[in-house]
């Protein structure tokens, strides 16, 4: 199998496998006060310190969750409820129009069920949320805005957002800023403290850790930029009373091991992936000259290449490539199987036909030149066959 879908999930790193395996054979609830429980707590707290150091955060700012989706929902829903409780006038939520569904659907739910007034910040043709677009969305009066959320890097087209600039604008207006950094955390120098954001989402399985582990980096409340979310889950009060539930010590240990391993050679790996990505882009363009590269050609994730293929259906291309042993995606893995054009491409100005005829190729730590060659050999004949099928 040629695996070109690392944005969906990337294979676990050996360090993470070893950490998870070691903890699964150990005993202890990290909330227990006896010796066994304290041992598990030590593993959790050491993991918290590793993750905090890697992402320029304080250990007390790391709130463990079951993954990126829960962290996004905690920041968006919990943040909205907290801000509205403090000031009932704050009912407006600004969100990027190209967000992952974990943010987009959480925001929409607030509009449908909690009376939030939603404004989608428009994207440009490269998938960017520009500072000018954010300023226009904020308007002359920010006193009714509960929070602003814009992702660090897009999960479909790979465009990297100017997060620090956007967070600075939010700060000017006294509005908390959340960013979903799930796709960025494994490949870019994501620094929570330097970003200016009040909340940031990361997920373990996107950077070589286990499924089911993630975190919300949550800055200590500092009015007027406080974002102290109302909990989604109630129970034992673990994780600063923000997220209750017995801590999954094995997954947290594996998450931290992956973060530590990734941080140790991130720049070198980013350069390697960018070179492979550029070779992949050149190969696709050589085989299919009218293929359209989507996203920002410069400011994009090192491992992302996203194309539209005129005259083709993305689902057909995916299945034809899969039959040749090549795994890729038509977009977000979370919306796979849903036959509708990508909301990301539509927000970028693409027509529905182009949006449906797109594929995402994403690279990761196991990717090699052989993977690029396999796609280079297959993509031309596959596109030709898909176009012939579309004419019948």
DSSP letter (8 states) at residue 5: B
The SS3 assignment for 191 reads coil
The SS3 assignment for 44 reads helix
* Set 233, 327, 334, 376: catalytic member: 334
- Specify which residues 206 forms β-bridges with: none
DSSP letter (8 states) at residue 232: S
334 included as an active-site residue = yes
| Residue 391 φ then ψ, to 5° | -90, -15
- Give the C-alpha separation, 181 to 188, whole Å: 9
Sign of the CA dihedral running 281, 283, 285, 287: negative
The SS3 assignment for 250 reads helix
Contact indicator for 172, 196 with CB cutoff of 8 Å: no
- Give the C-alpha separation, 90 to 231, whole Å: 19
Within 120-180, residue ranges assigned H as helices are: 131-138, 163-172
Catalytic residues: 334
């Amino acid at each position: 199998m040629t695996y070109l879908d690392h944005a969906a999930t990337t294979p676990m790193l050996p360090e993470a496998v070893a950490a998870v395996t070691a903890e699964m054979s150990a005993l202890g609830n990290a909330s227990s006060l006896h010796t066994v429980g304290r041992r598990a707590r030590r593993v959790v707290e050491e993991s918290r310190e590793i993750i905090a150091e890697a992402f320029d955060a304080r250990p007390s700012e790391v709130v463990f969750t079951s993954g990126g989706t829960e962290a996004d929902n905690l920041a968006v829903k919990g943040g909205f409820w907290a801000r509205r409780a403090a000031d009932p006038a704050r009912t407006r939520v600004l969100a990027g129009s190209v967000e992952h569904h974990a943010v987009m659907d959480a925001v929409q739910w607030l509009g449908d069920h909690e009376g939030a007034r939603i404004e989608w910040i428009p994207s440009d043709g490269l998938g960017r949320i520009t500072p000018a677009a954010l300023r226009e969305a904020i308007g002359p009066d920010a006193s009714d805005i509960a929070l602003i959320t814009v992702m660090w890097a897009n999960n479909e087209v790979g465009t990297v957002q100017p997060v620090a600039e956007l967070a600075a604008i939010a700060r000017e207006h006294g509005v908390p800023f959340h960013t979903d950094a799930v796709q960025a955390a494994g490949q870019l120098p994501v620094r929570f403290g330097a970003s200016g954001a009040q909340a940031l989402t990361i997920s373990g399985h996107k950077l070589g850790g286990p499924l089911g582990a993630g975190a919300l980096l949550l800055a200590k409340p500092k009015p007027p930029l406080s974002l102290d979310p109302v909990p989604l889950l109630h129970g034992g009060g673990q994780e600063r009373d923000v997220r209750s539930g017995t801590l999954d010590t094995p997954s947290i240990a594996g998450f931290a091991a992956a973060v530590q391993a990734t941080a140790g050679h991130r720049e070198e790996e980013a350069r390697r992936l960018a070179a492979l990505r550029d070779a992949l882009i050149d190969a696709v363009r050589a085989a299919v000259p009218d293929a359209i590269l989507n996203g920002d050609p410069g400011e994009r994730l090192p491992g992302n290449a996203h194309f539209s293929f005129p005259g083709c259906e993305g689902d057909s291309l995916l299945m034809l490539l899969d039959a040749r042993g090549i795994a890729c995606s038509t977009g977000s893995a979370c919306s796979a199987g849903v036959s509708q054009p990508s909301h990301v491409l539509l927000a970028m100005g693409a027509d529905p036909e182009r949006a449906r005829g797109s594929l995402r190729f994403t690279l990761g730590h196991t990717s090699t030149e052989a993977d690029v060659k396999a796609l280079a050999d297959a993509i031309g004949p596959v596109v030709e066959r898909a176009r012939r099928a579309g004419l019948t």
